[in-house]
Structure 1
């Protein structure tokens, strides 16, 4: 057990000091201060649980009498996810390459990184509201929103994956006199392929879920049906939609896992 005992020269990474204790006390103090200013009381929490119980009693059993309308909403959500993911991936491939600091000069990479940062600076719901105002209600607003969000996600992580590659295989292939396309496909792509597949599959999983939220602001998909049922206090239909969304998300996640196991 000698390997488990600490030596006199080994520094304790969890050692305490007055500075650490003061920082911890400030964090705890600010936590309680924030809870008091926001009105987060135990009475409100207990009242909320009671209201939630009454709401759930109205939602069950789910009403599947309008399943045709639900299926059309789910199909539209899936179409939004597929189209936005495709264009988001294609655009992100180009922008990620342009944003990589080991591939492009600063005069190119810095503006591109600024645009990518802009794409991920705002919540998709905010972007969806702007696109709904610009192009009107419907699936187009949802597609543009998710393309915008996908660029901010995929392009950033793709650029970071490119920046982490080793240039030794690239230089070895370049020394053979290979073309630029061969250098790209045989030198760069094998190194970034696992990360790229993981990023794309993860973003696809997100894009399948997002239309349910974006539809609440008019950006198409099953969220529009959910919003209508909620406004009409048709809680059993709300439960039907929520159960269906949960089932679709689970199926999509299972598909993603199978694809990931085969590709990565």
Structure 2
């Protein structure tokens, strides 16, 4: 390699370097505007240590209240996932650009985008104001969130299928239903199951948060324990939530392995 070729191969990218410098300068500026200082961090670490000390040991004496909240969160997660998947399946098919014309997939994709545009906690607040406190508001909020996530991924999976199999089914004179059943769904079934299991895991976590705004589940119990400064019971609730998520992850992993 000549000296000129070596210089060309390792020519510095001044645009990228300038971008990194600008990012570093803006990060420093943003930190000063948000009053992020070492003094505040040191005070915060000390307060965090005292807070964690008050959480140990965890208090499981009110296990009945804990179990009731966890069961409600589990029910919210399962129902919202099932409803979201049932709605996402037709939405994903209608949003796929290789199956439907523009005048069909464009508004459907817009609807899916609207479902994804707001955080599920904000949606839960809206439903709490609309239909009142309780699990129904949480189910409605997480159903909307599930629709936005699963329908988008399912539509993208359908757009990546091989159209040769679809055309072969159409060549036999099959109708739209048979084309979907034998030409489209077999190619995306495993991915759709994976999306659904991931959404169930996500809804298990999210169902603990929507309760904080009054949408049912263990989140309400957790928020009430924080307000009472009952930190040992808070620790028990957090450990139970972590255990539930671990169990759900193990079960979903087994299901994915069985479907491969």
Which category of TM-score, normalised to the shorter sequence, fits these structures?
A: over 0.9
Gaps of 5+ in 1: none
1:73 aligns to 2:69 (yes or no): yes
Provide closer, same or farther for how the CA distance between residues 192 and 39 of structure 1 changes in structure 2, counting only shifts above 3 A: same
1:138 aligns to 2:147 (yes or no): no
Post-superposition offset of 1:194: 2.2
Q: Which moved more, 1:150-159 or 1:94-103?
A: 94-103
1:42 aligns to 2:38 (yes or no): yes
Provide closer, same or farther for how the CA distance between residues 10 and 238 of structure 1 changes in structure 2, counting only shifts above 3 A: same
Secondary structure of the structure 1 residue equivalent to 2:51? helix
Which of 143, 146, 157 is residue 161 of structure 1 equivalent to?
157
Post-superposition offset of 1:179: 4.3
Post-superposition offset of 1:210: 0.7
- The root-mean-square deviation of aligned C-alpha atoms, in Å, is 2.1
| 2:168 alignment counterpart | 172
| 1:118 alignment counterpart | 114
Post-superposition offset of 1:9: 7.0
Provide closer, same or farther for how the CA distance between residues 102 and 43 of structure 1 changes in structure 2, counting only shifts above 3 A: same
Which of 38, 55, 80 is residue 51 of structure 2 equivalent to?
55
- 1:6-21 residue pairs with structure 2 within 5 A? 15-21=11-17
Secondary structure of the structure 1 residue equivalent to 2:12? coil
1:242 aligns to 2:247 (yes or no): no
Provide closer, same or farther for how the CA distance between residues 13 and 20 of structure 1 changes in structure 2, counting only shifts above 3 A: farther
| TM-score, normalised via structure 2 length | 0.94
| 1:206 alignment counterpart | 202
Post-superposition offset of 1:98: 1.1
| TM-score, normalised via structure 1 length | 0.93
Post-superposition offset of 1:182: 3.1
Which of 172, 177, 182 is residue 181 of structure 1 equivalent to?
177
